[in-house]
Structure 1
Amino acid sequence: MARIFVTGSTEGVGRNAAQALRDAGHEVILHARNAARAERFGQLARGARVLTGDLGLLSDTRGLAQALNAIGPVDAILHNAGIIDEPRAETPDGLLRVLMVNAIAPYVLSLQADRPRRLIFTGSSMHRGHAGVLEDMDWRRRAWSASAAYGESKLLVAALSAGLARHLPRTLCHTVDPGWVPTRMGGAAASDPLELAHVTQCWLATAEETELGDNGGYWLHMRRQTPDPKVTDPAFQDAVIARFAEVTGVALPGD
């Protein structure tokens, strides 16, 4: 039995992942943005630990890592929480909110949690085709595009995952594209089945290591995919990690 922390588990893919993992006999630690949203868990929370914290806030994200460490080591973190902001929004820390929730918070949690054995990040097909991302990471100079900012955040988190796989070779790091699924964020017109969106990440979190192949994979529906070339570029990976360390004050072990 594994102990697994699932962020953004009040609804959608995160909730389905948490339910599937519990049904399989694993210990699941649930996460909600606040106490009001935690009430949505209902029966899912029975006998489970529930952590609350806003991943749009650096202080709450650090607090979540501390609360997780107080429980004890976890075998895996499923970074499910994600947003898309129609108008541009900043956090109280002055960071682009969609970037904070989708990429920077997973960075902080991954490094400040007591070394989870596996880190599973959430990608998107929208990560492809973005140029010059690090030149205006916070979208201060460009005309705002909600979809492009979301896609860039997914490019950055995929590169983060691949970079951590290089720098933390004892930690299994993979990115999963859940597909375009009909969640609150994906919308009713989404074409991929919601019931399949969590399957790959749950498998990556619990399968025998020998089944997973090389570290640092990018996955869609149980198959490895070839991501945007920037994701597999070590220089880009290291530039992303350096920028995240700069804005959070959280460095890689040994830096």
Structure 2
Amino acid sequence: MATIFITGSSDGIGQETARQLVRDGHQVILHARNEARADQAADAVPEARGVAIGDLSTLEGMHQTAETATALGPYDAVVHNAGVGSGGARQPTGDGLEHIFAINVLAPYLLTALMGLPERLVYLTSGLESVGRVNLDDLQWEHRRWNAMQAYSDSKLYDVLLAFAVARRYPQLRSNAVDPGWIKTKLGGPSASDNLPIGASTQVWLATSDDPAAQVTGRYFKWKQDLRANPEAYDETLQESLLAICAKLTGTLLPA
């Protein structure tokens, strides 16, 4: 039996991941951005051991999430599932950060830095990482003309860089990226081609399985298939540069 923390698990793929894990006999800690959502999450997955609370759109909320989750740990695995899509105009957070970048990239970075390192880490990405582009000079679209879809695609590429950087820095653990597919959720929309169970199954497998194919690190998976990611994701210089920028923006380095 493993203990797993799942960010963004009050609905969608995160909630389905939790359901599959508890069905398999594991202990799960959910996550929600506020008390109301936490109550909804607990009602949806009553077998969960607890719910960590924190709004991942702000640095304060990221710290709160790390603190409340750590108090409910320790963990064998953490699934960085929380994310937002690509709708609308550029939206700054209360910290002045670009909204998509803050939630999709800075939040998993900072939680990784603050919560300690479990044996297994899973970072959710998207097939759109394949068209993402690394732009270290303008990660938050402060100087370019805003393109919401490209900003989202870029953020999902950065998630793969983060997963691979963590895998390289900490070879004793297993850190992988997962494209769950185009799943029928609030984020994926009703036109999505795939259903929730398949969207969660790879995360469950990587977080808990003794299958040798799941006990790897620094890989990119879709539906339990080990695939090649965007070529930029394998560039160690880009990985280190992204970590350095995230450390500067959050004031927090990854653990030594």
Q: TM-score if structure 2 supplies the norm length?
A: 0.95
Change (3 A) 1:12 1:141: same
Does the CA contact (< 8 Å) of 1:21 and 1:28 recur in 2? yes
Q: Which amino acid aligns with 2:20?
A: A
For residues 197 and 48 of structure 2, the distance between their equivalents in structure 1, rounded to whole angstroms, comes to: 24
Q: TM-score if structure 1 supplies the norm length?
A: 0.95
Between the two proteins, what is the percent identity of the paired residues? 38
For residues 44 and 225 of structure 1, the distance between their equivalents in structure 2, rounded to whole angstroms, comes to: 32
1:132 offset after TM fit, Å? Answer: 4.7
1:140 offset after TM fit, Å? Answer: 1.0
1:160 offset after TM fit, Å? Answer: 0.6
Q: Which amino acid aligns with 1:113?
A: M
Does the CA contact (< 8 Å) of 1:110 and 1:116 recur in 2? no
Does the CA contact (< 8 Å) of 1:73 and 1:115 recur in 2? no
Change (3 A) 1:43 1:127: closer
Q: How many residues align?
A: 254
1:171 offset after TM fit, Å? Answer: 1.9
Change (3 A) 1:15 1:131: closer
Correspondences of 1:31-50 after superposition (within 5 Å) = 31-41=31-41, 42-46=43-47, 48-50=49-51
Partner of 2:93: 91
1:71 offset after TM fit, Å? Answer: 2.4
Gaps of 5+ in 1: none
Change (3 A) 1:104 1:47: closer
Gaps of 5+ in 2: none
1:223 offset after TM fit, Å? Answer: 0.2
1:97 offset after TM fit, Å? Answer: 1.0
1:209 offset after TM fit, Å? Answer: 6.7
Residues 209-242 of structure 1 show CA distances to partners (whole Å, capped at 9, x for unaligned) of 7332541110001101100001111111111111
1:128 offset after TM fit, Å? Answer: 1.7
1:193 offset after TM fit, Å? Answer: 2.7
1:47 offset after TM fit, Å? Answer: 5.5
1:52 offset after TM fit, Å? Answer: 1.1
Does the CA contact (< 8 Å) of 1:53 and 1:61 recur in 2? yes
Does residue 138 (structure 1) correspond to residue 140 (structure 2)? The answer is yes
Deviates more, 1:149-158 or 1:44-53: 44-53
Runs (4+) off by over 4 Å: none
Partner of 1:15: 15
